[in-house]
Structure 1
Amino acid sequence: MSLDKKTSTDIVSGGNKTPLVIFKTKEDRNETDISKMSNFFEDYVHEMTLSIRESSHLQEIMELPIADLSVIGDVINQADIIVQGNITLLPDFENLPSDVRMKLKKGIYSIGESKQVEDNLRAVILDENGVRIKDITLKKVMNNPWNVETMRSIGNQMQMRQIYAKLSEIQEFQTYQIQRDRDRDIIVPFLDARQLVLEAATKKSEYDQMRMLKVADDRIRTAINAVYTDIETTSKCLAKKVSRPFGYFSKTPNTYMGFIADDLQIATKFVGVRLQILEYLGERETAKLVLENYQSRMLSFIEQPISKRGLSASMLMHDYFPYNDSNMDFWYNFSVEMKPALKKSMEQLKLEATDSDDKEVYFVSVEDSEDE
């Protein structure tokens, strides 16, 4: 099987497993600079969404479950999952025409309600003259134990993606030479894991695939623990440095903060990859433990005091980060936004249950207009 070609069963495939494909681009497979690799969450969420569509019973509905049509427009324009209250809207990737999306983004087309039949609340796409050209259909996903678990996995990856996106916004663009101990402890184990995943995809025997993926999981576990340790150690060094007289005026704090910003992104990316490996291996309980550990580490970074003034690592970053007009208060805003989200997710994991069972899930599709 080509590494560049995959089916919708690459991630979750029931009893008949096909090779796990995580590393798809040339940079994913060959680069050593983690920052140049993909955001592995995007394709994973896409694949899981397709697997729900293919394995679930879908019931087409005529009445919109939400009053705000702009939310449906966001699903189509962004081709992304939107959660509003207890309703989750999944983009039907195979039925979102790129030309229609482009004209919607440019404002040439708009989304409105069908007015041809009284009480018909179907959303439609209108051209520049207000003429209905496409229907928007919503198909409700009828819950079963499998797709509830899949939605939980999607939710976990979406949180990882959200954290990674926010960290990307606040990372200072700076160039520095990564020292050999970081290469040895953090980068090399991840590269080993990546190579094992790639090689596993070439094996015809499912036993060989699974064996190699378990070894890959061991390697990436080592890399994750190394980066966690580096974040903790570097944060303590930063706190110690800025507590000294005139310590802030040296270049060292900026170097420490650069390492921390990178490490946070690396950890998030590594955990995202490990969760996919564990999901593929059927190790859902282990995946839950890994996610809980990650969330705990992130929460400690945000709220655990490490300085003499009782500041957490994230607040030290806020106080001493070299802000400019374009990124003012990003670390503070990151902490404020992520703290309640992390606590809520951790609480759900501890209860070993989420409210996914009660959520309503719909696929949003764009189809040719039908006569009413």
Structure 2
Amino acid sequence: MTTFEKDDAILLLSDGTLIKGKSFGSKGTVIGEIVFNTGITGYQEVLTDPSYFGQLITFTYPELGNTGVNSEDNESDSPYAKGVIVRNFARTPSNWRANITFEKWLKEENVVGIYGVDTRELVRHLRSSGTMNALICSELKEVSLSSLLERIQAAPIMKGLNLAEKVTTTKFYKWDTTAIPEFDKRLKLEPQIPFKVVAIDFGIKRSILNRLVAHGCEVVVLPSNAGYKDVLDLEPEGIFFSNGPGDPAAVKEGIDLAKRLIEERDLPMFGICLGHQILGLALGGKTFKLTYGHRGLNHPCGISGRVEITSQNHGFALEAESLNSNNVDITHLNLNDGTVAGIAMCNRPVFGIQYHPEASPGPHDADYHFARFAEVMSERR
């Protein structure tokens, strides 16, 4: 048994690494895959992104909470991450848009936090050892570290998990265009009649829906288990496959849907992140788990001399060698490690990108992919 102070917290990794810190946010014990995000802004958007479902997020930026939390920047109704790991946090925000402090928000949303962690050392460890399951515990008193380690090692690992089914909508709905924040109304294309788009929700972000609308789309969102008939009954001009958490190879219904639509319908299709991987799997490709993933706002992607700085959040990638070059072009590579960052069918209007062009948070270099999708639909009218 080990005795701790009242406000102590620990971070315990499945390889036995123990890091001591202080508790903030909600108190409790949570287990999940530990990952790291290298962005210097956007903690509210990151924590409410469904793609982080069940994960413990290490933020490399040394202080969080300076801008508090506001009512507009959430990517979903509430945080999907289980825990937050930081060096330090601001107790008093300084931003005119803030409605609540960062810590109070975490408490209200039952997100467990630990601060006082040397996040540089932790990230160096994760980069060399890879992502793994970990535990944050702030209800210590007297606790057995061996029993906590057993709980971590008994928890399921990310590979093989279909988490899209945990975060998807349970019903069809039309995205409310009045919900678009004023600052996000960067219109690129304004057709007289909106493009009818069906979005398959594997963990879709609000900012993606807003960008589709801003590019002239009328979007109906369907659950991740939507069937072929469900999609076609809506008579879409285009189909969007969203981002989401978990192992893409485990999302069997989404892969089967994409495969049938590709084989039987000549419709424009666009996938982002998990949706991009699902399109690749439907085209006969394979995916693999990255050692520590790509999560940040400054990943360079490109091919043939064109480079765009991108926002990324994923732990799996498509195997380049598994893609049939007679049918699929690799359009973008992650220039840090050479992994596949974009694909397109050679003779069909089907394409996907591994990164997040909606830039919430992040750079706007890749926003043109939404216009690309809209333009393909416009050409077919």
| Shorter-normalised TM range | under 0.3
> Higher strand share goes to which structure?
2
Q: Which has the higher contact order (CA 8 A, sep 6+)?
A: 1
Larger radius of gyration: 1
> Higher helix share goes to which structure?
1
TM-score where L is the length of structure 1: 0.25
